Amino acid sequence: MTECDRCDECGGAKTYANQACLPINGKVRCIDWCIHQIVAALNAGGVETVSCCCGHGTQDGRIDLADGRILTIERALEGHADERA
């Protein structure tokens, strides 16, 4: 995962100011901007999420599913850009 210009450290003011608020399972949830589309797609497809964090450029991100599984969003290795673009 590349660094997001809308995030700072976990719990930082910039991160909270730039979260996307989504209606998930009847409640409004605030999701880190750089992964909100993934979380929305999972829930729209019937894969219920219960928690998530993008990692804020310092650690791998994660999306916790209601069934106990954890999806890991790995950071790109330094110096290795996504060559598919």
SS3 4: coil
pLDDT for the residue numbered 1: 47
φ/ψ of 43, rounded to 5, equals -65, -40
Query: Does 42 map to a domain?
Result: yes
Query: Does 8 map to a domain?
Result: no
Full pLDDT tens readout for the chain, 85 residues = 456 777 777 767 777 778 899 998 889 999 999 899 999 999 999 999 999 999 888 889 999 999 999 999 997 766 656 555 4
Query: Does 1 map to a domain?
Result: no
Number of domains in the chain: 1
At which residue do the structure tokens 């409004």 appear? 28
Structural domain containing residue 32: 13-73
* Cα dihedral: 28, 32, 35, 40 (round 10): 0
- Surface-to-core class of residue 33, CB atoms within 10 Å of its CB (0-12 exposed, 13-18 middle, 19+ buried): middle
Query: Does 63 map to a domain?
Result: yes
Q: What is the DSSP letter of 73?
A: E
Query: Does 78 map to a domain?
Result: no
